[in-house]
Amino acid sequence: MKKRTFFRVVLILFACLSLTTIGLPFVHANAIPTFSLKMPQEYINYTIYKIDQTLWAKVDGTYPMTKVDLGCLNQTDAIEYSLATFTGEDLQMVYPTPPGTTNISVTLNETELSWSNYTQTFPEATHATPIGDWPMISCVIESAPDEFMLKIHYEHPIQQINGNNTFVYDINISPYLFPWSNKSIADFTIIFETPASELQITTVTPDGTVNTPDFETTEESGTKTVTMQIVSEYSKPLHGDLVVTFSDQQESFSRELAPEELYLIIVILVGSVAVSLYVIIKRRKQKKQTCN
């Protein structure tokens, strides 16, 4: 079973639920101590660079989280939110990684955590993206505090898809959207340290729906920076994956000139022609005088 979550909180409820026989309804209405996580905002920074003619993406994600004590949900609610809630103090989190990912580090409040290859242990646990299935890593947050800052750093080569440089980021954050925490904002900053033309940014939902988010682009000293915010809301369709494609060729100069720019060019051309004619006429007069 492929997992389509951004962070998946691994839920272990089998010891808490009471069944008389497999296939029969629950016979006890015992409540289960349950928690969820709030993440009203996340910050994702990309740096696109080139090493030995290969394009790479350096990714730094910062995720401020708050643990929410839900008290005791009844069994109906526990089942409804089972993929987004957890019991106990320890959190096992998984995170998708693109092919060829290296230099992975995970920190909790500036303390580095150990991580493992989750897909290697559970081969069926992969993350489906529009450009293929990705493996996932896993780490355990022991005795998770009420509030914490999780940071993840990794680097990966950028894939070539249909002749375009393409990278993807998962923004399906359903595990953090509840009636009591109904909005989350993903702040993206993408810095291109290499030429980036023909830039296209879309979101692709699990059912293949493509949308184009608003983004701003600035350029200074040959470095292009893209910024945008993706807002996810409870009970509304999720965005799925952010897909960025671009060419690493220099962008050709082709745009309509402003009137003042056109006027300046005309003045320069007329002046150049006038100076050239003056020089030609003067040289002819000098040559004629010499011959006489």
Does 18 reside within a domain? no
Phi, psi of 120 (to 5 degrees): -65, -35
Question: pLDDT by residue for the chain (292 residues), tens digit each?
Answer: 444 444 444 333 223 322 222 222 322 334 455 788 899 999 999 999 999 889 999 999 999 999 888 776 666 665 566 556 777 778 888 999 999 999 999 999 989 999 999 999 999 989 888 888 999 999 998 888 889 999 999 999 999 988 889 999 998 888 888 888 899 999 999 999 998 889 999 999 888 889 999 999 999 888 999 999 999 998 888 898 999 999 987 654 444 556 776 677 777 777 776 766 766 776 666 666 666 5
d(CA 159, CA 168): 10
Residue 60 belongs to domain spanning: 38-69+92-247
Does 117 reside within a domain? yes
What total number of domains does the chain contain? Answer: 2
**Listed residue (281, 285, 212) closest to 243, CA to CA:** 212
Does 149 reside within a domain? yes
| 281 and 184 belong to one structural domain | no
Does 28 reside within a domain? no
| 235 and 276 belong to one structural domain | no
- What's the pTM value of the predicted model, to 2 decimals? 0.72
| 172 and 274 belong to one structural domain | no
| 115 and 238 belong to one structural domain | yes
> Can you read off the two tokens belonging to residue 243?
């897909």
H helix intervals, 7-151: 75-80, 118-121
| 290 and 181 belong to one structural domain | no
| 209 and 278 belong to one structural domain | no
| 243 and 167 belong to one structural domain | yes
Does 12 reside within a domain? no
| 156 and 130 belong to one structural domain | yes
| 46 and 110 belong to one structural domain | yes
Does 115 reside within a domain? yes
| 265 and 201 belong to one structural domain | no
Instruction: Provide the pLDDT for residue 216.
Output: 95
End-to-end CA distance of the chain: 100
| 235 and 273 belong to one structural domain | no
Here the CATH number for the domain that contains residue 154 is 2.60.40
Does 136 reside within a domain? yes
| 116 and 213 belong to one structural domain | yes
Does 102 reside within a domain? yes
Cα 12–chain centre separation: 29
